């Protein structure tokens, strides 16, 4: 299976368990590997046959920015559900980073894999 790769999509979100995190948005970064058969798009050179990564980024950005979660696990799961339910990909590997979570680290994060039911 082919993959569409999206790297370091940055979205400001309300995410965290601490009171100060619930008051102000902070950045999260998302890496997404979207399994999709790219051959029809390659043969037709038509966006209608492709997995439109611009639309995926736009939808995920809007979703993340408009929600509130305490745990990155919950946010990651919700993002995978949006992508699998709304786009023609069969599998998503999502890595979600929270760069401001722990001092003295570049970032912390979670990686999950989910498949279309």
Considering the domain boundaries, does residue 115 fall inside one?
no
Find residue 72's DSSP bridge partners: none
8 A C-beta contact, residue 78 and residue 108 = no
Catalytic residue among 25, 55, 98, 116: 98
Q: Which of 80, 76, 100, 102 is nearest to 89 (CA)?
A: 80
Q: Provide the domain count of the chain.
A: 1
d(CA 72, CA 74): 5
pLDDT score of 117 more than 90: no
pLDDT score of 48 more than 90: yes
pLDDT of 14 reads 96
Question: Could you list the residue range(s) of the whole structural domain that residue 101 is in?
Answer: 3-109
pTM, to two decimals:
0.94
Q: What is the pLDDT of residues 16-35, one digit of tens each?
A: 999 988 999 999 999 999 99
Kindly report the average pLDDT of the chain as a whole number.
96
DSSP element (H, E) containing 13: strand 3-15
pLDDT of 98 reads 96
Catalytic residue status for 116: no
Considering the domain boundaries, does residue 103 fall inside one?
yes
Higher pLDDT, 100 or 54: 54
Mean pLDDT value across residues 47-54: 97
What is the domain-level CATH number for residue 13? 3.30.1130.10
The upper half-sphere exposure of residue 76, i.e. CA atoms within 13 Å in the direction of its Cβ, equals 20
Considering the domain boundaries, does residue 35 fall inside one?
yes
pLDDT of 45 reads 97
């Amino acid at each position: 299976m082919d993959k569409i790769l999206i790297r370091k999509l940055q979205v400001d979100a309300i995410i965290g368990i601490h009171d100060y995190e619930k008051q102000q948005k902070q950045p999260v970064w998302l890496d997404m590997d979207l399994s999709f058969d790219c051959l029809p798009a390659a043969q037709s050179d038509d966006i209608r046959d492709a997995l439109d990564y611009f639309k995926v980024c736009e939808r995920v950005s809007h979703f993340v920015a408009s929600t509130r979660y305490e745990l990155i696990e919950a946010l990651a799961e919700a993002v995978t559900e949006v992508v699998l339910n709304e786009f023609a990909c069969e599998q998503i590997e999502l890595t979600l980073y929270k760069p401001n979570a722990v001092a003295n680290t570049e970032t912390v994060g979670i990686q999950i894999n989910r498949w279309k039911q």
